[in-house]
Structure 1
Amino acid sequence: MVVLGVGIEPGTPLAHLREAVDVLGIARVDVVATIDTRATEPAVTALAAGRVLRCYPAAALDAVAVPTPSAVVRRLTGTGSVAEAAALLAARELGGGELVVPKQRGRGVTVAVAR
């Protein structure tokens, strides 16, 4: 299973999220994971269409050790990581838990990949 973790600023267009995913060069995404406050963000729901969408509260994400936490993300969301932590948490639930692509920033988005 390939899990895409997504951190996204409200109102970011789907095109910006797709650009960030395309840069990763991954062939497929099985699960999209993010923070629960972005569960209904249009770009996230569009990208997750036909895939499993996993959403987690900030406290659950904050409990996940990540290589590159962010003080800015913590201030804005209550967790030091959204993309990496969500990807890892979802991958662990599916029997994996290895971060294969650390967070990559795009226009209004951050993405990471775990298996």
Structure 2
Amino acid sequence: MTLVVGVGARRGVTADEVCALVLAVLRGAGRRPEEVAALATVEAKAGEPGLVAAAARLGLPLRAHPAAELASVAVPHPSAAALAATGTPSVAEAAALAEAAARGGAGELLVPRRKSARVTCAVAVAHGDGRLPAGGRGYTREDAAFGLPARRRPLIRRRIPRPAVER
């Protein structure tokens, strides 16, 4: 399971405000920043210094998606203000879902859009395509969080010849 944070911001936003909202939203969802694979936004905001600096501070890549791509993503909270400013009715939710889908398989919102004064963010989960990991390892310890039993490795028994006993 991979987390992606979608971020929208007004011009001139600071990295402090972006980081504060992202970390507060993750904390509220019971997630750690280490679980996040990327920040995602609309192409028009990808060069915003506050977003670029926040991504660097969090140690995450900043992924940009075209407004037309984000406009085609169904979201629960479209915004007329976002549509007027960027050409898509959602930046944070749509960017999070689009980036989750780009990582393979389906994505779903874990946290819908949250706002501060100049920033919006949403968190999506990228589920992958549902296949077993490479090598067919089956379930891992991380699956225990979903209540799935861990797969045990079969016990391999070899016959060890006994030494001949002299009589």
| TM above 0.5 | yes
C-alpha deviation, 1:47, in angstroms: 2.0
Aligned to 1:18: 19
* CA offsets 1:6-63 (integer angstroms, 9 cap, x no match): 0000111111111211221131221110010111111211222232221011111000
Cα pair 2:8 2:92 within 8 Å, conserved: yes
Kindly provide the amino acid, as one letter, of the partner of residue 117 in structure 2. Answer: R
Aligned to 1:76: 85
Kindly provide the amino acid, as one letter, of the partner of residue 32 in structure 2. Answer: A
- Which segment drifts farther, 42-51 or 90-99? 42-51
Q: Which of 86, 95, 107 does residue 86 from structure 1 map onto?
A: 95
Q: Larger radius of gyration, structure 1 or 2?
A: 2
Q: Which of 52, 69, 72 does residue 63 from structure 1 map onto?
A: 72
% of aligned pairs identical?
45
Aligned to 2:50: 43
- What TM-score comes out, normalization by structure 1 length? 0.94
Kindly provide the amino acid, as one letter, of the partner of residue 103 in structure 2. Answer: L
The answer to which structure, 1 or 2, has the higher relative contact order (CA under 8 A, 6+ apart) is 1
Kindly provide the amino acid, as one letter, of the partner of residue 12 in structure 1. Answer: V
Q: Gaps (5+ residues) in structure 1?
A: none
Q: Gaps (5+ residues) in structure 2?
A: 126-167
Cα pair 1:19 1:106 within 8 Å, conserved: no
C-alpha deviation, 1:75, in angstroms: 1.3
Name the CA distance, whole Å, in 2 between partners of 1:76 and 1:53.
Answer: 20
* CA offsets 1:65-91 (integer angstroms, 9 cap, x no match): 000101111111111000000000000
RMSD: 1.1
Name the CA distance, whole Å, in 1 between partners of 2:55 and 2:45.
Answer: 12
Count of aligned positions: 115
